[in-house]
Structure 1
Amino acid sequence: MFSKSKQPPIRSLIAEGCHVHGDISFADGIRIDGTVEGTLSGDEAKSKKGTLVFVSEHGRVSGGIHADTIIVNGVVEGPLHAALMLDLQPKARVNGDVSYRQLEMHQGALISGRMQPIVSPAASVPEDRGPAAAQAAASGVPGAAMPAAASAPAQTRIPPLQRGQGAQPSAAPDNPLQALDALDAARRNAAAAKTNPAAQPSKLA
């Protein structure tokens, strides 16, 4: 629990036997020994050391309480929101949800409701961008990218020659004139072979 030197002074009091209907806005600290039907809200702008609500064992609050520090040793019917510290003493009876940054709960205190700690937002975690980001983080160079793995050159499969099939003709030249000249030469060679049988190669027996 915070030391008393750091707690705001109690400047307001709802004495035992008093019954207040309506919401209360206060500065610094307030002590409840009587009964309040309404919401207690601390005014941060008017409080140098924060705000504090103390509900004694004789006090009863039917409504919510919003303050930096809340100390309860009586009965509260409603939600509690302690921005800094919630202290539930042995005779505390709370029927409502509570939220707090720090909690001190003594033996004998009872709560009927949800308990929600106030957690500071976690530091943002950079999203995973794959191996390139991992390498950049390891090297310390922002934006450094991992070199892509060299792929093996594609191999061209040459189909085997069929039996009785000769060598495949070479690909036609890119120049159309060369293709026509080659075609004319082939025709002339074929005509010469027909007219001169001796030029043809002899067939093996």
Structure 2
Amino acid sequence: MSGGTATTEGGSTAFVLEQTSLGPVPFLPEIRLRQAEEAIELWERTEAAKGEVGLPPPFWAFAWAGGVAVSRYVLDHPEIVAGRKVLDVAAGSGVVSIAAALRGAAAVRAAEIDDYAVAAIAVNAGANGVEVTAECADLLDGDGGEAEVVLAGDVFYERWMADRFLPFLERAHARGAVVLVGDPGRAYLPRGRFTAVASYEVPVMADLENSAVKTTTVWRLA
């Protein structure tokens, strides 16, 4: 299969390649990602490269617990995505998208608002030999369009994110999409709206999560 495609400039791809190295993902031996070895220094270099301060963390450079959990669930339950159109929202490194593509999704679309993330998704998809369409777009005012499955890893870590994401996910669910979210115990997950379908002990970078392992749950919107 061909590599991923992305609406991004070559400079973003070059930055991703310079700041990361390709290797296996703990807990996901089926997948390889380009990841950074540290977080704070990369964050600072990202701000310097963009000439901005106060940017969000480089979510694209690491396999975060929520995304790893959703990926593990999809890899173990291919019937969730096989033959279906999949949308990965706030896709970060693209790990969830790659898992869906590996398990036979008819089409995989990965949405991010960070051009570095879009570049990383394309590079990572290519490294895993799958097709993922990555785009720089904020889709949260819609309902996921034609996606039959909507996946999100770790999006309830701040109130403002929860306030935007929950209505989007509910609209996608209301039109018939399967909605799965990975969450490592974030404060703003509205648990009453979801049903837990799996729980994992996910290895993480200690300087990202203040822990070497995070208990992470995959939730299905009820």
TM-score past 0.5 threshold: no
TM-score calculated relative to the size of structure 2 = 0.24
Which gives a bigger RCO, structure 1 or 2 (Cα 8 Å, sep 6+)? Answer: 2
Structure ranking higher in strand proportion: 1
TM-score calculated relative to the size of structure 1 = 0.26
